[in-house]
Amino acid sequence: MKSPFATAVAMGVGLLVLVGYFVPVPVLAGLRLLLLQWAVILAGVALLVGMANLIQYHVENLRSKQNIGSVLLLASLGLTFMLTLYFSPQSAPVQWLFSAVLIPGSVALMALLVFTLAYAAVRLLRRRPGVFSVLFLGTAILILLGAVALPGIGSLPFISNTLRPWLAQVPAVAGARGILLGVGLGTVATGLRILLGSDRPYGE
Amino acid sequence: MSVTGSGVSDILGLIFVALFGLLMVVSRVLKQPRPGRDLRPLPALNRLRQAINLTVESGRRLHVSLGRGEIIHPRTAVAFVGLSAMQKLVEDTAVSDRPTIVTAGTGPLGILARSSLRSAYAAANQAGRYRATYGRVTGLTPFSYAAGALSVVRDETVAANFLVGSFGAEVALMTDGSQDDDTLTVAGTDNVVAQAILCASADEPLIGEEVFASGAYVGAGMLHGTSLLTQDIFRWLLIAAMVGGALIKMLGVW
């Protein structure tokens, strides 16, 4: 049984923000802004709670499995946190941590996506053979061919200046807009379910 | 008092939202759509249901990933759908020896995941089985989140992955990891780029608004079915408005 208090707060705040967005009354607009500022502060606090959850899980993981990954994670998390507290987020050591460790790590994982996606493309034909899969892969290959200059050939004449722009700007944009309209309607429906108290992903 | 262009669009917006809500409630009173009878079959969610039934029997677990939606961003909506569906699925699998693991990529979603998990165990009269580590924040940046969730997919005898939330290109790493173990991956998101990736890499991708339908198909709540019906009505209205607008423009009437 969810708490009626939590439900009332969620519904009330949601309705105030919604009405404040549409109705141009200064009091409502001010209240909406205030509530959104509170939400931003709470999101910041929730980030710390998230970090605490991450630490809790890896400490337990360390106790039960002696996982080296958990040791590395806890050590680097603690080091980064202490350095950021001692210096400041804008200081040279912290900036170095970001530019020399965090960003290259993320970029390396992003680079792995090339192989992951190439493998997924091959697997797609094996797993779901059919017209759709062939069309999907054919289009992806045409877009790639049109986007790069091949060694010794340069840009492919028809593909890079006619076919690729047409594919990217006409069928792809039309499809994406259709998907986004569906997503927009789904978002409205989800928001209204929470405002009406039907979905309550909070409290006890 | 004159009404400005932005004032008119605000009023129209409010009318749109009010009508949408009204239709959802009225449809609930008139008819509750049921999967298989009133809702078109979605093979992805049917397969997920079958996999979950087998999961309990085979002693393997379900992994639900909620993505990286921020709490004050519209993109959290899809994660809320995931939370509702997850709550129902956890209620159904609460007695399993291998509990469902929920991963999130932001602090607020982590809190909501644990809260929903606790509620689901309580609703299934299994409150004593709940542990806080069943809901995990696996990382706070896109790739650290994917890497952390990947370790759940690979290490914890997962039979089915249900990825429903806001993801970027990093979702490819998660689906790739799940393929190695021959597990079922049902995945949907609101991000167009990630949808294209999921089309190629997930066993069963949920395209466009299908991800918002998952609550209705797993029986997550009373308004999930009727909100689908309302979405369909508004979709047809939007199509009619767009085609009508294009025709009016072509004919040079306005």
What is the reported pLDDT for B1?
45
Predicted-assembly ipTM surpassing the 0.90 threshold: no
One domain, residues B189 and B250: no
Closest CB from A106, A109, A185 relative to B209: A185
One domain, residues B101 and B47: yes
pLDDT in tens, A78-97: 999 899 999 988 899 999 98
Reported pTM: 0.88
One domain, residues A20 and A70: yes
CATH number of the CATH domain containing B153 = 3.40.50
Which of A57, A86, A115 terminates a domain? The answer is: A86
Which of A86, A112, A137 terminates a domain? The answer is: A86
Number of domains in chain A: 2
Chain A residue with Cα closest to B119: A204
- Give me the percent of chain A exceeding a pLDDT of 90: 25
CA B40/CA B38 separation, integer angstroms: 7
Q: Which domain holds residue A22?
A: 1-86
Number of cross-chain residue pairs from A and B with Cβ atoms under 8 Å apart: 211
Sequence-ordered list of residues with C-beta below 8 angstroms from that of A190, at least 6 positions apart, any chain: A199, B77, B78, B80, B81, B212, B227
Residues of B in contact with A57 (CB under 8 A): 133, 136
**B21 belongs to a structural domain:** no
**Residue B204 in tokens:** 């069963």
Number of domains in chain B: 2
**Tens digits of pLDDT across chain B (254 residues):** 445 556 788 888 889 999 999 998 888 777 766 666 677 888 888 888 888 888 777 788 899 999 988 777 777 888 999 999 999 899 888 888 889 999 999 988 999 999 999 999 999 999 899 988 899 999 888 888 998 898 888 766 888 999 999 998 889 888 888 765 568 899 999 988 899 899 888 989 998 888 998 888 888 877 888 888 899 999 999 999 999 999 999 988 76
Yes or no, beta carbons of A127 and B203 under 8 Å apart: yes
3-state secondary structure B155-194: HCCEEEEEEEEECCCCHHHHHHHHHHCCCEEEEECCCHHH
Sequence-ordered list of residues with C-beta below 8 angstroms from that of A41, at least 6 positions apart, any chain: none
One domain, residues A9 and A82: yes
**A91 belongs to a structural domain:** no
**CB neighbour burial string for A34-62, b if at least 16 within 10 angstroms, e if fewer:** ebeeebeebbeebbebbbebbbebbeebb
Q: Which domain holds residue B238?
A: 222-254
One domain, residues B144 and B134: yes
Q: Determine the distance in angstroms separating the CA of B210 from the nearest CA of chain A, rounded to an integer.
A: 9
One domain, residues A57 and A133: no
Kindly state the DSSP code that residue A202 receives in the 8-state scheme.
Answer: S
